[in-house]
Amino acid sequence: MNPAVGILAVQGDVEAHARALRAVGAAPRRVLRAAELADCAALVLPGGESTTIAMGMERLGLWAPLRHFARKGRPIFGTCAGAILLARQSRNAPVPTLGLLAADALRNAYGSQVDSFAAPVDAGAHCGLAGLRCTFIRAPRLCELGAGVQVLARVDGWPVLVRQQNVLAATFHPELGGDSRVHALLMRLLLR
Ligand code: GLN
């Protein structure tokens, strides 16, 4: 049976993540309530606006259940705003975070919406990600990475895809562009 992978559906690119997850053999499902996490083998925190998503998580009482989910070792994958929410803190613009990834986030580090761009990963990307094209939309940068954080891909020298055990974070939007290699990595975390 295809593993159920939840997508936090407070805000953001839920449908595009669902498509990418189906392409790698997962059964995506929207998550809005803590009880819905029980059935999920892994979870995606999509991009959007981290402050809005954080408010939604507060309203839905999801902070503690999400931490619990990750601390049980289930894979959790944050993209863009989702990566900010995984970080230990946002350095430049306050937003509450889950503190599951030993890295600080710098929000909107590449500029505003009009500065959105796509770029290939630097040579030397790990895990079969060579040539991956990354779409950045008001993207954060990750800095002060802890010793347990592995950099899987960089763009212009900056880490854009990192992993710390069961936690995966992308500063870009891997659900855009039709390349599901990053979602495939999430599936590989399920098989650890
Ligand atoms: N700039 C947004 C934030 O700070 C993130 C943008 C995105 O997820 N595309 O939350």
Q: What is the mean pLDDT of the chain?
A: 96
- Sheet with 87-90, edge to edge strand ranges: 87-90, 101-106, 141-143
Residue with tokens 């990192």: 162
Q: What confidence category does residue 191 fall into, taking pLDDT thresholds of 50, 70 and 90? A: confident
72-83: pLDDT as tens digits: 999 999 999 999
- Residue pair 70/98 in contact (Cβ under 8 Å)? The answer is yes
Averaged pLDDT for residues 167-179: 96
- Distance from the CA of 139 to the center of ligand 1, in angstroms? 6
- Which pLDDT value is given to residue 31? 98
108-160: pLDDT as tens digits: 999 888 889 999 999 988 899 999 999 999 999 999 999 999 999 999 999 99
Query: Cβ(108) to ligand 1 under 6 A?
Result: yes
Ligand 1 atom closest to residue 93's alpha carbon, by position in its atom list? 4
Reported in sequence order, the residue ranges of the chain that DSSP labels E, i.e. its strands, are 4-8, 27-31, 42-45, 76-79, 87-90, 101-106, 117-120, 133-136, 141-143, 150-155, 158-164, 167-170
- Which pLDDT value is given to residue 114? 86
- Which pLDDT value is given to residue 165? 97
Told to judge if 134 belongs to the known catalytic residues of this protein, a careful annotator would answer no
